[in-house]
Amino acid sequence: MSEPSILDTRAAQMFPKLGEGEIERLRRFGELREFASGDMLAKVGQTGLGLTIILSGEVEITQHHENRQGDPIVTHTPGSFMGELAQLSGRPALVDARAIGGVTALMIPPDQLRAMLTAEAELGERIMRALILRRVGLIETGSGGPVIVGHAGNGDVLRLGNFLRRNGHPHTQLDPARDEEARTLVDRFQVHEEELPIVLCPGGQLLRNPTEAGLARCIGLLGPIDPERLYDVAIIGTGPAGLAAAVYAASEGLQVLALDCRSFGGQAGASARIENFLGFPTGISGMALMGRAYSQAQKFGVEMAIPDEAVSLECANIERGVQRLMLANGERVRARAIVVATGARYRRLGVADLEAFEGTSVHYWASPLEAKLCQRESVALVGGGNSAGQAAVFLSGHAVHVTMIVRKDLKATMSSYLIERIRSIANITVVTDAEVTALEGSDGRLNQIRYRMRATGKEIPLDVRHLFLFIGADPNTDWLAGTGIELDERGFICTGLGANDGLHPLETNRKGVFAIGDVRSGSVKRVAAAAGDGAQVVAALHAYLAEEPA
């Protein structure tokens, strides 16, 4: 029996009705528009008009289908409003909306929508909740998103699916070996087996095994950056530290650009469950926590550029009070201040042929997508920190058996509540004082690993189909080479302590460049500490910007 959908359980919050008095309060934010019967108020793949409040008439909302009539989602009547999270940033619509009879509507464009959510706190909360829940509903069904066609377990299918999932974008995944519709698409576009996966975008474009950036541009997640615009601050990295800085800076009136080379949420976003974050006594998934922060940043007008990678911070011919970033795609960003929140990159095992299994059998996070691959399989997990423990607990609910391989006793690196939980789960085995020495398999499919007991040198084979690596991370600071920014002996960014050294708190030795979160030397590697850095740096930004002319 399938679990009830969010539409079944929270329909009243997804589709609330506004009273006449509430609509009157919102009129100052929008303008009236008239639509004839059959007119499209929104179309998948085309930039939306913003929040649309129905004053008279009816509007039918349907899922988009290329060759047949769309499946109905809801029919909006007077007092209802159209829209979901895409309307906060003016991104393409994810549903089709057609007028049934004549319609009069109040159209609130994205910039005014954000202003309204701030100015009308109580009413804005109801509307914001509805926008978020509607996006969750679209993700559940895959409505309005691209269709990935490729074989389940293929590394590129996993790569693209993970990218869309971690960026909160709906999509559908079809396997031509099992799905007739997928086979029809393959035949229709004359796609050879070696060209899979393909991606069919909502606008009708066909991509053959695209990069994440190529896919993001096709579906409207990513657009060009204005090279002439001067932002108050550019934040590089959208993990807990970067998103916190973005939210606090934008809410206090700063013009903020936030960039990330992969997805929002960072390593925290890949955590199956966070149970020691203040205010969540029952725990919360990393994706849910970071998704809320991402929506909050959009609400305050943060411009998101994901996936966009910063590759250098320019040093020559710099205008006073202006920093310049070079991006991997050749674009440049101008900002009065830079906040580096690039966190750390996952460490990799020093074993032969690791690359051959990455993306298909070797994984660096444990999401529902990986969990689905592990059903009826035995898996191994390397690592002894809290992230490793959370992943092991999560995977134990899907895999037949989970073997944890750690170098030290868990008490040295893991919270006691997680250790007790792991001990209570029958299908988790913990092997201590051991290390993985070899991977065996073919065609990217893992069949067996070998691990060595460090005390005796004995090697032991273990039949597993998937290996999860949670063995720590190194600072993501290589791209700062040549900038003169001071790093400590381990490669983390050094920051000032305040008035004693003439620097603002969290400022680097390069004026106007700040570092926060896990990439900062001496930081506490916790989600709460990273978010605290993000809040603290905004006070330092205000002080710095007050000193430097625009």
Q: What is the CATH number of the domain that holds 151?
A: 3.40.30.10
Which of 296, 318, 269 has its CA nearest to residue 129?
296
Pairing of strands 40-42, 230-236: unpaired
Pair (337, 368) in one structural domain: no
Amino acid symbol at 247: V
pLDDT in the model for residue 499: 43
> Distance between CA atoms of 525 and 546, rounded to whole angstroms?
31
> Do residues 373 and 459 both lie within one domain?
yes
- Residues 337 and 366 both lie in one domain: no
Question: What is the pLDDT at residue 497?
Answer: 59
Among 187, 218, 249, the domain-final residue is 218
382, 288: one domain: no
Final residue before a domain boundary, out of 176, 198, 218: 218
Residues 484 and 466 in one domain: no
Question: Which residue range(s) make up the domain with 305?
Answer: 230-344+479-547
In a domain, residue 299? The reply is yes
What CATH number has the domain bearing residue 51?
2.60.120.10
Spatial contact of 65 and 91, defined as CB atoms under 8 Å apart: no
pLDDT at residue 68, rounded to an integer: 57
Residue 67's pLDDT is 56
Q: 420, 441, 471: which is the final residue of a domain?
A: 471
187 in the same domain as 151: yes
Phi then psi for residue 168, to 5 deg, are 65, 35
298 and 196 both lie in a single domain = no
Residues 330 and 239 occupy one common structural domain: yes
Is the same domain home to 484 and 455? no
| Predicted model pTM | 0.88
CA distances from 237 to 129, 255, 472 (A): 26, 16, 18
Judge whether 49 and 92 are in contact, CB under 8 Å. no
436 and 504 part of one domain: no
- Res 66: pLDDT: 60
CATH number at 483 reads: 3.50.50.60
Does residue 277 lie within any of the structural domains? yes
Burial class, 467, CB count within 10 angstroms (exposed 0-12 / middle 13-18 / buried 19+): buried
Maximum Cα–Cα distance across the chain: 81
Distance of alpha carbon 224 from alpha carbon 226, whole angstroms: 7
Q: Is residue 140 part of a domain?
A: no
Establish whether the linkage from the previous residue to 307 is cis, with ω within 30° of 0: yes
DSSP string, 230-286: EEEEEEE--SHHHHHHHHHHHHTT--EEEE-SS-TTTTGGG-S-B-SSTT-TT-B-H
Which residues on adjacent β-strands are paired with residue 452? 435, 459
Q: Give me the pLDDT at residue 245, please.
A: 98
Residues of the chain scoring pLDDT < 70: 1-2, 65-69, 316-317, 497-502, 549-550
In a domain, 104, yes or no: yes
- 182 with 236, same domain: the answer is no
pLDDT tens digit string along 37-96?
Answer: 999 999 998 988 899 999 999 999 998 766 556 789 999 999 999 999 999 999 999 999
In a domain, 188, yes or no: yes
Which class for 546: exposed (0-12), middle (13-18), buried (19 or more C-beta within 10 A)?
Answer: exposed
212-226: per-residue pLDDT in tens? 999 999 999 999 999
Which tokens in the block code for residue 528?
């709460």
Query: In this structure, are 358 and 457 located in the same domain?
Result: yes
**pLDDT, position 377:** 93
pLDDT of residue 473: 80
In a domain, 10, yes or no: no
Prior bond of 109 cis (ω within 30°): no
The total domain count for the chain is: 4
DSSP codes, 93-131 = BSSEEEEEEEEEEEEE-HHHHHHHHHHSHHHHHHHHHHH
In a domain, 164, yes or no: yes
Is 9 within the bounds of a domain?
Answer: no
